[in-house]
Amino acid sequence: GLFAGGEDELLVDQDDNPNGFWERTDVVGLNDAILTDSAGAWFNPPGAISSSEETNATAIAILSRLGARSPWLVKDPRMVITWPVWEELLTDALPVYVYRNPVSVAISLQRRNQFPLTFSFALWEHYNRCCLGILQGREYVAVSFDDVSADPARVLGKLEADLIEKGVTLSEPLSPGAFDAGLKRSVAKNSDSRAALLTAEQRQLASYCESLCSGDTAGELPPDESDLLPRIHDLASALE
C-alpha cells in the first residue's frame, strides 16, 4: 500500500531476508556516507552527526523522486542515527515505529554478523532510544514485530486503521497474507535464557516499548545508561 521504490532501486534479497529489505540503495548509501563522514558506522554510532551541502542535496533529491509516487515510505534503521540530516526534510512525514524485542535482534545480529550478545543488546538500546527521541512531540504509529508475527490479520488491520486515522491514504489495503509466517523463526521471547544478559535498564526499556506498541500508558521513558555509547565504541573497536 506504500511505494518504497522500483525493483532496481531496492536492496537485493539475501539468505537471511529472502523477501527483501524494502530499503532503497540510495538511502542506505547516503546514510552510510553520513556515518563515515561522522567517524562512525551503523554498528559504531558517532556521538554527533556531520552534514554538508552535498549530503543535504542528495537527501532532497531522493525525497523528490519519491514524492512523485505518493503514498511512499523510506525504511532504513540507520535513519534513527542520521536523523539530524533528514529531520527538516521530513517534518510532514509520519514516523512508523516498528519494535522488535532485544533477544530477537541479538540473535539476528549474532547469526548474520557474529556479534556478541551484549554488544547487540547495547546497539538495540541505543537505536531504540534514538528512535523514541525522534517520536517526542510528533504524531506517530507504533507496532510490534512480535505482535504482527503472532496475529497478522488483527495487528496489520489495526496498523492500517492507525495510518488512515493519521491521514495516510494507502494505495491498497494491507494484506495479512503478505506477512511471511517463516519470519517467526526470527522471533524470540524475552524469557529466552539469553535475556539474562540484558541490563536492568534494557529490561525497563523493553517493557516501555512493548507498552507503547500495545497502546497502554507507557509512562516516562526509563533513564538511559550514561556509559552506553562509550561501551558500544569500545566493543565496536574490536570489530574494526
What global pTM score does this model have?
Answer: 0.89
Predicted confidence (pLDDT) per residue in 209-230, tens digit: 999 999 887 788 898 888 999 9
pLDDT at residue 110 in the model = 93
User: Can you list the positions of beta strands (E) in 54-165?
Assistant: 96-99, 141-144
Predicted confidence (pLDDT) per residue in 163-172, tens digit: 999 998 887 7
pLDDT at 18 over 50: no
Rounded to whole angstroms, the Cα distance separating 15 from 179 reads 17
User: Can you list the positions of beta strands (E) in the chain?
Assistant: 96-99, 141-144
Arithmetic mean of pLDDT, 66-76:
81
CA distances, 86 to each of 10, 58, 65, 127 (Å): 19, 11, 15, 16
pLDDT at 181 over 80: no
pLDDT at residue 218 in the model = 72
